Amino acid sequence: MGNLLILNGSPRAPRSNSRRYAQIFSSCYGENTEYFDITKRNHPELCAKLAGASHVLFVFPLYADGLPVTLLNFLKSLEAAPPQNKPAVSVLINCGFLEPQQNEMAVEMMRLFCRQNHYPFGTVLKIGSGEAILDSPFRFLAVRKIRRFADSIAKGSYGTFQVTMPLPKGLFVKAAASYWINYGKKFGVTKEEMQTMQIEP
C-alpha cells in the first residue's frame, strides 16, 4: 500500500464532517495512514510530509462550487515547495446538496492542479447530502462507498465513486429546511432572519 497521508482542507477541520469521513476512511484503509488538519501555520510541515508519502488524500467540503480557501492556500504553498517524488492524489469531497454531481467543478480544479504540477491523479469520491448522511439511516451507504473508495486506492485501481441519500428532492428540501431552522434556534436566529442578509448586528 505504501504510506498514505490524509489532509483535511475544511476551514473547520477539527469539528468538520470531513474529519468524520477521514476517520471512516482510515478504518477501512487499514495501516500506514497519517492524518493532519491543514492550518495557516503548518504548510511547510505538510509539504515536507508529502515527500515521504506514496499517496495523499485530500478530504474537504465544497465551498461556493469550488475549493475552500484553506485548501487553496495550501495548494499555493505546495506549488512553491513541491516534493521531489510526487505522490498520487485522491479526493474525498462532500457537499450539502443532494446531488453528488455538484462537487464536479471542485474535482476538476484538483485535476487541473495535479496535471499542471505533475502529480498522478488517483480516485475520487463525491458525496451528496454530506452534512446529513452520516447522522441519517443512510449512513451505511456512505460507509459502504468509502470502503470501496479505500479499496480502490489500496489496489491502485483508480476510478470515480459517488453516494448520496436516496430521497426525492422535495423531501430532502423539507428535511434540510427543518434542520437549518432548528440549527438557527440554537443560536437565537429565527427562520425570518435566515431568509435575509440582516442576521448580524
CA dist 96 and 82 (Å) reads: 32
36 in Cβ contact with 71 (< 8 Å): no
CA dist 23 and 119 (Å) reads: 24
CA dist 7 and 127 (Å) reads: 17
63 burial via Cβ count (<10 Å: 0-12, 13-18, 19+):
middle
The pLDDT of residue 172: 77
What pTM value is reported for the model? 0.89
For residue 147, how many other CB atoms are within 10 A of its CB? 15
Question: Residue 200 pLDDT more than 60?
Answer: no
The pLDDT of residue 93: 98
The pLDDT of residue 197: 66
Rounded mean pLDDT of 128-138? 91
Q: What is the pLDDT of residues 82-117, one digit of tens each?
A: 999 999 999 999 999 999 999 999 999 999 999 999
Query: Domains plus CATH for the chain?
Result: 4-166 (3.40.50.360), 168-201 (no CATH)
Rounded mean pLDDT of 155-162? 96
Strand 4-8 to 33-37 pairing: parallel
For residue 133, how many other CB atoms are within 10 A of its CB? 23
Strand 55-61 to 33-37 pairing: unpaired
Question: Residue 201 pLDDT more than 60?
Answer: no
